[in-house]
Structure 1
Amino acid sequence: MRKGQYRFVAGFLFAPVALYVTFVIWPYIQTFGYSLTDWKGQSQTFKFVGLDNYKALFQDDIFMGAIWHNILFLIFIPLVTILLALFFAFMLNVGGRSRAGGVAGVAGSKYYKIIYFFPQVLSLAIMAVLFGAVYRSDGGGMLNGLLIKLGLVDAQSPIEWLNEPDLVLWALLVVVVWHGVGFYLVLFSAAMQSIPKDIYEAALIDGAGRSQSFFRITLPLLWESVQTAWVYLGIAAMDMFILVSTMTSGDYGGGPDHHSEVMATVMMRNFLLYGKSGYACAMGVVMLVLTLIVSVFTLRATRRDRVEF
């Protein structure tokens, strides 16, 4: 590259890099700095306490329980969402049979794609309102009303979905999966459409069934899309603040009795309610480190040789 080209490229990169450092990197550095102090949030004076906030953090039973809840979300949200999205995408693109004996999606697949994608256009606030009505703890709730009509639940003692310690996490998991499947279905569908139909037709001629076509053709050729989806869903599972704070009981959510607590809700409660801002910043740093570890681990664990066609 000639000398003039270096200046040209550097001129274009200077502004975006400066903005990124100012609005992304610098806040992270500030947060780490505050995590080493006893900052109260509103005060302009604070003192350096070293790693005391981090020591207290790992002795905090509520925060450690919140980490465990995030780990459960980290396991189940990507797994269930990707499996459902892959299944629906496969059926809508190559799961049917055309009259000419070729490869096609199931009948009405173009309409199903719109229906499946519809939850993705809703904001998380709207989702919280909708599923708040679904999970209402009386007979007026959609889920309890249906179970009462079927005779599976007593009308005098309906299930309190968001107030039962053993059910609340699974109820939230359903919301996240319902919201995410449509987006990843479209992502996987776009990747499947780039796979030549000749490959599937050759497999059909050789007598391959749907399951063999999926595991021997579709999944290997979609692996990079699956890897990307897993990373994004893992990052979402490490957050969960909006749904937990709006759908569960308690200040900034986490109820009942901290059984739906996640790291973000504990952090926001300490920052905004208790005025322990330095302590909350330490939680934010731990969240950042854990999210980076999850992302790197996922990318390395799912790495495989590129399959070309």
Structure 2
Amino acid sequence: MRKGQYRFVAGFLIVPVALYVVFVIWPYLQTFGYSLTDWKGQSQSFSFVGLDNYTALFKDDIFMGAIWHNILFLIFIPAITILLALFFAFMLNAGGRGRAGGVAGVAGSGFYKVVYFFPQVLSLAILAVLFGAVYRSDGGGMLNGFLIKLGLVDEGSPVEWLNEPNIVLWALIAVVVWHGVGFYLVLFSAAMQSIPRDIYEAALIDGASRSHTFFRITLPLLWDSVQTAWVYLGIAAMDMFILVTTMTSGDYGGGPDHHSEVMATVMMRNFLLYGKSGYACAMGVIMLLLTLIVSVVTLRATRRERIEF
């Protein structure tokens, strides 16, 4: 590259890089700096405490429990969402009966794509209100009302979906999966449509079943899209702040009795309610590090040799 070209490229990059440093890198550095202090959040007067906040974090049972809940979300949300999205995408693009034109999706696949994608147009705040009605802990709740009609639940003792310690996390996982499947179905469908139909037709002529074509053709050729989806869903699982705060009991959510706590809710409670801003900043740093580790490990663990067609 010539000297003049360097100046030309630098001229375009200097402004976005400067904005990135000011609005992204600098807040991270500030957060790390505050995490080494006893800052209360009300003034700029604070004392340096070193790693005391980080030491206290690993003795905080609530925060450690929140990390465990995030890990559970990290395991189940990506796995269930991707499996369902892959199944539906395959059925809508290559799961129909063979026709004269070759391999096709099930009848009405275009309509089904719209139906599956519909939850994605709803914001998480609207979703929380919607599923708050679904999970109501009386006969007026949609889910309890349905179970009462079937005779599976007694009308006098409906299920406390969001107040039962053994159920609340699974109820939240169901909401995230319901919301995300449609988006990743469309993502995988777009990737599947780039796969030549000749490959599927040749496999079917050779006697391959639908399951064989999925595992031997579709999944390997979609692996880059699956890898990307896993990273994004993993990042979402490390957050969960909006749903937990709006759907569960307690200040900033986390109920019942901290059984649905996630790292973000514990951090915000310490920052806004308890005045432990330096301690909350340490939590934020830990969240950042764990999210980066999850992203790197996911990309490394799912890395495969690129398949071209």
TM-score range, shorter chain: over 0.9
Deviations 1:116-160 (A, max 9, x none): 000000000000000000000000000000000000000000000
Equivalent position amino acid for 2:131 in 1: F
Which residue of the partner structure matches residue 256 of structure 1? Answer: 256
Which residue of the partner structure matches residue 282 of structure 2? Answer: 282
Deviations 1:80-103 (A, max 9, x none): 000000000000000002432720
Which residue of the partner structure matches residue 90 of structure 1? Answer: 90
Which residue of the partner structure matches residue 7 of structure 1? Answer: 7
CA displacement at 1:163 relative to structure 2: 0.1
Matches within 5 A, 1:177-196: 177-196=177-196
Task: Indicate yes or no: 2:169 matched with 1:158.
Answer: no
Task: Indicate yes or no: 2:77 matched with 1:70.
Answer: no
Which residue of the partner structure matches residue 203 of structure 1? Answer: 203
Counterpart CA distance in 2 for 1:133 and 1:182 is 21
Which residue of the partner structure matches residue 135 of structure 1? Answer: 135
Which residue of the partner structure matches residue 227 of structure 1? Answer: 227
Counterpart CA distance in 1 for 2:21 and 2:90 is 42
Which residue of the partner structure matches residue 236 of structure 1? Answer: 236
Equivalent position amino acid for 1:30 in 2: Q
Counterpart CA distance in 1 for 2:266 and 2:99 is 57
SS at match of 1:226: helix
Which residue of the partner structure matches residue 119 of structure 1? Answer: 119
Counterpart CA distance in 2 for 1:98 and 1:10 is 55
Counterpart CA distance in 2 for 1:94 and 1:301 is 28
Equivalent position amino acid for 1:254 in 2: G
SS at match of 1:45: coil
SS at match of 2:159: coil
Counterpart CA distance in 1 for 2:98 and 2:211 is 18
> What residue ranges of structure 2 are gaps of 5+ in the alignment?
none
Which residue of the partner structure matches residue 19 of structure 2? Answer: 19
SS at match of 1:97: coil
Which residue of the partner structure matches residue 297 of structure 1? Answer: 297
Deviations 1:261-284 (A, max 9, x none): 000000000000101000000000
Moved more, 8-17 or 93-102: 93-102
Counterpart CA distance in 2 for 1:218 and 1:125 is 35
Which residue of the partner structure matches residue 173 of structure 1? Answer: 173
Counterpart CA distance in 2 for 1:44 and 1:102 is 69
Task: Indicate yes or no: 2:245 matched with 1:245.
Answer: yes
> What residue ranges of structure 1 are gaps of 5+ in the alignment?
none
Equivalent position amino acid for 1:82 in 2: I
Equivalent position amino acid for 1:270 in 2: N
Counterpart CA distance in 2 for 1:99 and 1:30 is 61
Which residue of the partner structure matches residue 271 of structure 1? Answer: 271
CA displacement at 1:209 relative to structure 2: 0.8
Aligned residues: 309
Q: TM-score, normalised by structure 2?
A: 0.99
Structure 1 stretches of 4+ moved >3 Å? none
Counterpart CA distance in 2 for 1:294 and 1:234 is 7
**Alpha carbon RMSD of aligned pairs, Å?**
0.6
Equivalent position amino acid for 2:72 in 1: L
CA displacement at 1:44 relative to structure 2: 1.7
Among the aligned pairs, what percent are the same residue? 88
Equivalent position amino acid for 1:103 in 2: V
Counterpart CA distance in 2 for 1:263 and 1:101 is 52
SS at match of 2:89: helix
Counterpart CA distance in 2 for 1:53 and 1:298 is 29
SS at match of 2:207: coil
